[in-house]
Amino acid sequence: MKLKYLIGLFALSFVIVSCGKEAKVETPEEKEVWSDYDFNDYDYTFQIDCFCTEEYREPKRIEVRDNKVFTVAGTPIGEVENSTVFRTIDGLFEFIEEQRKLNPAVEEIEYDPTYGFPTSIFFDISELIADEEIRYSISDFKAY
């Protein structure tokens, strides 16, 4: 009887611990703040900090029109190399949710206190992999 009780208790604790390790994808309240503003046209400066070329790390002005990336550093999005890196603010929230599903070892996100958009995004998916960490910085936001 005691053995069945202990096995049941072990199984229950395993289920509870396992559930705690599943990726949680939550909508931060900052996303709700951002959504309430309903901006469709805005610009911001986007900078990537990674183990990559200097050109890639240079700050770039992103123009968003009709809630789509229109230009990157003055170049139409269709002509931009690695264009999928450059996202709308809504796209940055989607990126955060995608990364959270990977159960990152480290997550550091800061948000704008007024508009709620992320101002700094950092994920280290695996501490065992060197140089895969990337930080995205968003600044100089201007809505139209």
Q: Does residue 126 belong to any structural domain of this protein?
A: yes
Looking at residues 123-140, what average pLDDT do you find? 86
- If you write DSSP's letter for every residue of 21-64 in order, what string do you get? HSPP----HHHHHHHHH---SEEEEEEEESSS-HHHHS-EEEEE
- Quick one: pLDDT at residue 55? 86
Domain count, the chain: 1
Give the C-alpha separation, 38 to 143, whole Å: 10
Residue 4 lies in a domain: no
Is residue 21 in a domain? no
Q: What mean pLDDT is predicted for residues 75-80?
A: 95
Mean pLDDT within 71-99: 95
> Residue 3: inside a domain, yes or no?
no
Question: Rounded mean pLDDT of 50-61?
Answer: 89
pTM confidence score: 0.78
Per-residue pLDDT for 142 more than 50? yes
Domain that holds residue 101: 26-143
The CB-side HSE value for 82 (13 A sphere, CA atoms) comes to 6
Residue 99 is assigned to a structural domain of this protein: yes
Quote the tokens at residue 34: 């951002």
**How many Å apart are CA 67 and CA 78, to the nearest integer?**
16
pLDDT at 27: 59
